[in-house]
Amino acid sequence: MEWLSSHKELVDGILAIVEASLLVGFVAGSAVFFIWLERKVAGRIQDRLGPTRVGGRFGWLQTIADGVKLLVKEDLIPADADQMLFRLGPYIAFCGAFAAFIALPFANGWVAKPLSIGVFFILAVMSTEVFGIILAGYGSGSKWALFGGIREAAQMVSYEVPMALCVLVPVIVAGSMDLNYVSNQQAGGIWNWYLFHDPFTFLAFWTYFTCATAQCKRAPFDLAEAESELVAGFHTEYSGLRWSFFFMGEYGAMFAVSGIAVLLFLGGWQTGIPFLPELSSWLASALGDPEQLYGRYWLGWVIGNSINVMVFVVKGWVLVFVQMWVRWTLPRLRIDQVMMTCLKYLLPISCALLMGVSLWQVAVYPWVRSYFSYVLCAVCVGLFAWMAVKVVTTPSHLPVSVTGATNLWHRGPIPPELAQKP
Amino acid sequence: MIFAVGLDHFLLLGALLFVCGAVCMATKRNAIGILMGVELVLNAATINFVAFARYNPVFQVEGQIFALFVIVLAAAEAAIALAIVLNFYNNHMTVDVDTAEELKG
Amino acid sequence: MTLTDVLFYLLAATTGICALAVVVTQNIVRAAAWLLFTLGGVSGLFFLLGADFVGATQLLVYVGGTLVLVVFGVMLTAQGPFINMRISAAEWAIALSVGLILYGVLAASLVISKQLEPSAGQSVSGEMADSTVLGQSLLGQSQAAPAGYLAGIPASVSRERKKMSYLLPFEIVSVHLLVVLIGAAYLARAKRRRSAVVPASSPQRGDGRTNGQQLGVTV
């Protein structure tokens, strides 16, 4: 123990490397999962099955097969490309998205670097991703890539503004930009979540989510990478591992913005179970006394935080699933519609929300402020329950494969009403 | 002793950036290259401000406030400079500042 | 050599080499890329100094805003001949010598003058001002008085600085930004693009042909 305290800087350095490796592993693992999820979601929404061959019935190993294919592809650099800029583009895009994870807390106190300006730092480093896109678009030496890259850059830069304004709305309610603190403020029941705190944060969540989807270049704002528009936009000339860096960056950014939404609006790692306090401190104080350094207090804290991590990651994955769901449901917007949406609609809406939440905090009757969250929570939970009931009770038919067989989902004899003729 | 980082090291780095920016302003023929030199000079000044804020407790808040103002004003000045460069390009079909000699002599 | 020193030397080397590359490179787009790394290195130095808010603002405003604006300007004006503009060797020699002399003068003045060192009663500030303190002082609500005194200023004057308020500069900068951005948007609006200005003494004038009027285009 004395060696640790005397070589504090070495320990700090080693800890930093360990944390960075954990985060890289998490981002890479999430990307592997998201690629599979995207293909399955795309398939099921388009009334087909998605990957079903590689690695079992559900294609679990499809992403590994895709990764191997990308690794063995020929590394092609166009003759007209600017060699240095072409090579730099994917790495800058990936670093811009990955650096956001430095200040993203996964559980109470489990953050790579606790920053008092956490959410501001995340927005700042994610704004450097634009440069990777510009360099990739210009450096490819092709007009499709240049147009796609410049349009993409204009879109990303424009959507940062309403995104930052919408992020400010819960920050005003919480009083701090530290994501750890904001998440701890939402402990207790589900009505404590900032989503239900006042009408302005409620609208700010949806506006933020729209801006975040546009910021991540996801449909319906993915004009610059659409095949029907500009071949493939800024990553037209990229193949193999370089292309996969762009997409790791994109999935990393998707999880980062979903993580911010979860922490700011959806209670972070709080389970939302009524009257259950924040898990790590509750389990720690329930199991042991704070005096012992590594006794049951520490064990309770670790167990509570592990549950917190799982809750946070699941919530983040749910929001990423919503982004994928939106992508495969809505048609694409034109570039002028994309810019008009940002500058003429989302930007004034976010300014109005910012003003509204400031007035709400100071000028509304206290009893309205304290009871509004319960009312809104009850309405939302009721709507969600009604939707869930409708989803479960609506009769549907299973997707039919190419051969007309419906027995891919059943083992044993097929019920007669499902044995359809192709 | 010289390896321990102090105020002087940050000021020397600021001086290096300033000199790079000044030489960039003097040698680049592309108008936007000159603008890049201006950005380097402003960054050098900002490094100086924040270094003084760290190493002299009197300037703890003022150094950072001034750095923020410099960053904001540099952004405003870059916007205007680019508007001027675009007008120059529209009128002369070139961004080579050596051709901007209509006010000469 | 503490970790801070190692990080400083790494970041300073990055920033310095990339700043030199901005000057040396002939390709304007590559100069923008080197400038990106320079600004990123400067932001890293701000984080190393403990000024988190300034570092994040540098990334958000400078890298994500100003530099993107500069690169858009480069793309709008980057016709073939203007991407690589060569400088003659004589100009390089003059620029190099002037640069070295200027750097020598600055470095010498920094190293020679020892009055800049903090007096014995003060030490390196352990904690840099938080974003809360910065925000309060920008709004004029700060309760903190400046710590310590400046060498060379009489103590009576220093004692009169009761609190730090930067509300007036804050408002001025806000209005300034508004005016500047409106002006820049007006200046850079799409206009009818005339052909290149023809000198009055050229034979092309007065031959009955009007200058072709084309609508200005924007990306």
C161/B contact by beta carbon, under 8 A: no
Q: Are A96 and A132 within 8 A, CB to CB?
A: yes
Cβ contact, residue pair C87, B27, below 8 Å:
yes
Tens-digit pLDDT profile for residues C95-134 = 999 999 999 999 988 878 765 554 433 445 567 788 888 8
H or E element in which residue B91 lies: helix B60-92
Cβ contact, residue pair B82, C73, below 8 Å:
yes
Tens-digit pLDDT profile for residues C7-37 = 999 999 999 999 999 999 988 999 999 999 9
Rounded CA-CA distance A147/A230 in Å is 8
Span A259-274, average pLDDT: 90
| DSSP assignments along C148-180, one per residue | S--TTS-HHHHHT------HHHHHHHHHHHHHH
Q: What's the CATH number for B7-94?
A: 1.10.287.3510
* Nearest alpha-carbon partner for C60 in A170, A354, A129: A129
Question: Which chains would you list as touching B if contact means 3+ CB atom pairs under 8 Å?
Answer: C
Phi and psi, residue A418, nearest 5°:
-100, -10
Domain span at A196: 80-363
Looking at the structure of chain A, the number of domains it has is 2
Question: Which chains would you list as touching A if contact means 3+ CB atom pairs under 8 Å?
Answer: C
Tens-digit pLDDT profile for residues A167-220 = 999 999 999 999 999 999 998 888 889 999 999 999 999 999 999 999 988 878
A199 and A274, same domain (yes or no): yes
Q: Which of A261-265, B24-28, B56-60 has the lowest mean pLDDT?
A: B56-60
Report chain B residues whose CB lies below 8 A from the CB of C150: 58
B99/C contact by beta carbon, under 8 A: no
Q: Are C15 and C34 within 8 A, CB to CB?
A: no
A221 and A244, same domain (yes or no): yes
When the pLDDT of each residue in chain C is averaged and rounded to a whole number, the result is: 78
Tens-digit pLDDT profile for residues A403-412 = 666 556 555 5
C28/B contact by beta carbon, under 8 A: yes
Domain edges within chain B: 7-94
Cβ contact, residue pair C64, A127, below 8 Å:
yes
Q: Note whether C touches B: 3 CB pairs or more under 8 A.
A: yes
A286 and A151, same domain (yes or no): yes
Span A385-400, average pLDDT: 81
A66 and A100, same domain (yes or no): no
B2/C contact by beta carbon, under 8 A: no
Rounded CA-CA distance A100/A176 in Å is 18
The reported pLDDT for the residue numbered C192 is 64
A62 and A96, same domain (yes or no): no
The reported pLDDT for the residue numbered C172 is 95
A206 or B101: which leads in pLDDT: A206
Q: How far does the CA of residue A27 sit from the closest CA of chain C (Å)?
A: 23
Q: How confident is the model at residue C201 (pLDDT cuts 50, 70, 90)?
A: very low
Residue of C nearest to A12 (CA): C3
Q: Are C92 and B27 within 8 A, CB to CB?
A: yes
| Cα–chain center distance at A411 | 36
Cβ contact, residue pair B95, C4, below 8 Å:
no
A179 and A286, same domain (yes or no): yes
* Nearest alpha-carbon partner for B72 in A120, C171, C137, C173: C173
Q: Which of A364-368, B41-45, C203-207 has the lowest mean pLDDT?
A: C203-207
H or E element in which residue C110 lies: helix C89-112
C198/B contact by beta carbon, under 8 A: no
The reported pLDDT for the residue numbered C161 is 59
Q: Is the pLDDT of residue C171 over 90?
A: yes
Q: How confident is the model at residue C89 (pLDDT cuts 50, 70, 90)?
A: confident
Place of tokens 């960056």: A249
Cβ contact, residue pair C131, A116, below 8 Å:
yes
ipTM for this prediction: 0.93
Q: Is residue A404 part of a domain?
A: no
Report chain C residues whose CB lies below 8 A from the CB of B78: 66, 69-70
Q: Is the pLDDT of residue C202 over 60?
A: no
Q: Is the pLDDT of residue C150 over 90?
A: no
Report chain B residues whose CB lies below 8 A from the CB of C139: none
Cβ contact, residue pair C64, A146, below 8 Å:
no
Q: Note whether C touches A: 3 CB pairs or more under 8 A.
A: yes
A224 and A318, same domain (yes or no): yes
A299 Cβ contact list (under 8 Å, min separation 6): A287, A288
Report chain B residues whose CB lies below 8 A from the CB of C102: 19, 22
Q: What percent of chain B has pLDDT over 90?
A: 55
Cβ contact, residue pair B9, C12, below 8 Å:
yes
The reported pLDDT for the residue numbered C38 is 96
Rounded CA-CA distance A74/C199 in Å is 55
A304 and A197, same domain (yes or no): yes
Q: Is the pLDDT of residue C209 over 50?
A: no
Q: Is residue A99 part of a domain?
A: yes
